[in-house]
Amino acid sequence: MACRISELVLDCRDPEMLARFWCEVLDFVELGREEGQEGYAIEIGPREGFGGPQPTIILRSGDEPEQGKPRLHIDVNPTDRDQDAELKRLLKLGARPADIGQTGKEQWNVLADPEGNAFCLLKARLNPL
């Protein structure tokens, strides 16, 4: 049997703000919080909780991110509307266009969340889980 992604961890300055943002984007809910010596973390995920077909996201408080391109980013696909309608919704929620050197001919939109973390809105529409 192979491994499966169960959670993604994102260090950020304001876990509260990003938890609200990503919960709206993905229709997730807060699943839990954890306090530690180095700050705190908020875990968000599907309403059915941890361990389902979708990974959860842990937003962990931390200092400024290291310079350079991150090795991990999130791709999202619309489930109940087309890409243009979803782009408008994401921009209203606080996402903003990001330029990472794309040509403009891509079938996806590169965006940044409210803290500047890049993510992509893909064109394909997926069925909701």
Which has the minimum average pLDDT: 35-39, 68-72, 82-86? 68-72
Domains of the chain: 1-63 (3.10.180.10), 72-129 (3.10.180.10)
Residue 1, pLDDT score: 47
Is residue 97's pLDDT more than 90? yes
Is residue 16's pLDDT more than 90? yes
Nearest to 44 by CA among 71, 74, 67, 72: 74
Q: Which residue has the tokens 């090795």?
A: 71
pTM higher than the cut 0.85 = no
Average pLDDT value over all residues in the chain: 87
Strands 56-61 and 7-12: parallel
Is residue 36's pLDDT more than 50? yes
Which percentage of the chain shows pLDDT scores above 90? Answer: 50
Residue 129, pLDDT score: 64
Q: Give pLDDT tens digits for 41-53.
A: 999 999 998 888 8
Give the separation between CA 89 and CA 73, rounded to whole angstroms.
20
Which residues does 74 contact at the CB level (< 8 Å), separation at least 6?
Answer: 8, 57, 117, 119, 120
